[in-house]
Structure 1
Amino acid sequence: MDVGTAEAVESAGPDARTAALYARDATCRGLGITLDEVGTGRARMSMTVSAAMVNGHGTAHGGYLFLLADAAFSYACNSYGPVTVAQAAQVTFLAPAAAGDELTAEAVERARSGRTGIYDVTVRDSAQKVIAEFRGQSVMLAGRPQAG
């Protein structure tokens, strides 16, 4: 199967679809963000905070924390097949992370109706301390919504 075509990706299962997305995701791969688990309406991704990701306060820059959460959100909402993107998102930072910390973002679908969805993502450190909470709203660009 040529996973580079939209039709092939849409007709594949969630693992094949998300594997194809990840293969084209230069940002996540370049930053060392790994796709650890994916299922219908959910995903888990991880990254280690590098020294280059730390801000002037000595903590992980919020942009990298948002990016990790946003990536997990993206893979969760794209697990159904049709191309889906963020239409809005917000993050609440609850605790700092530092260089060397291993972070995990777990995305879970909360609701889906027609072409839109709501997903919550929790970012935790290796001690399971909550670092950030993220809520994303998705919109399907093409294709037909599947029953959830």
Structure 2
Amino acid sequence: MLDADKASRALGIELTELSEGRAVMTMAVSDLMVNGHDIAHGGYVFLLADTAFACACNSHGPVTVAAGAEVSFVASARLGDVLVATAEERTRYGRNGIYDVTVRRAGADGAVIAEFRGRSRTIEKNGEAG
């Protein structure tokens, strides 16, 4: 799945750890990701968290997609920061799952940048959730 994800590859997102129900990914904040306030645009932080979520919920095998997600931005990231997103499964029930992703700044301070909660749904072979 990740090999075919052109958006994540184009942003330099890298998978550093993958196990069942868990994924860790990194992304460096580039000059193209900084908004008018000179901080990382929230959409890029969300994209990193969403990609980690996707890898974690697809780690079980069946094709799984997002049914919904929300993010809370806690602190700002800046140009040059390396962000680390750690996605962890909280529960799976039927074809549904709940995953939490913490995005931190790499390095000594390890500041939390965002908290993300994703809800997953395993889809049928024809691509329909239901």
* TM-score of the aligned structures, taking structure 1 as reference length: 0.81
Aligned residue in 1 for 2:16: 36
Cα distance, 1:142 vs. partner? Answer: 2.5
Q: 1:85 & 1:40 partners in 2: Cα distance? A: 16
Q: Does 1:137 align with 2:119?
A: yes
Structure number having the greater helix percentage = 1
1:63 paired residue number: 43
2:79 is paired with a residue whose SS is: coil
Query: Could you list the runs of 5+ residues in structure 1 that have no partner in the other structure?
Result: 1-20, 144-148
Alignment match, 1:51 = 31
Q: What is the 5 A alignment of 1:47-126?
A: 47-126=27-106
Q: How many angstroms apart in 2 are the aligned matches of 1:46 and 1:65?
A: 11
Pairwise CA RMSD of aligned residues? 0.8
Please give the alpha-carbon distance, in whole angstroms, between the structure 2 residues aligned to 1:44 and 1:25.
16
CA displacement, residues 96-130 of structure 1 (integer Å, 9 cap, x when unaligned)? 00010000000000010010000000000013110
- How many equivalent residue pairs? 123
Deviation at 1:40, TM superposition (A): 0.3
Deviations 1:48-87 (A, max 9, x none): 0001100000000000000000000000000001100000
- Structure 1 moving runs of 4+ over 4 Å: none
Matched to 1:131, the amino acid is: I
Q: CA deviation at 1:22?
A: 1.7
Answer with 1 or 2: which has the greater Rg.
1
What letter is aligned with 1:140? T
Name the amino acid aligned to 2:92.
Answer: R
The aligned residue for residue 128 of structure 2 is none
Task: Please tell me the residue identity of whatever aligns with 1:107.
Answer: A
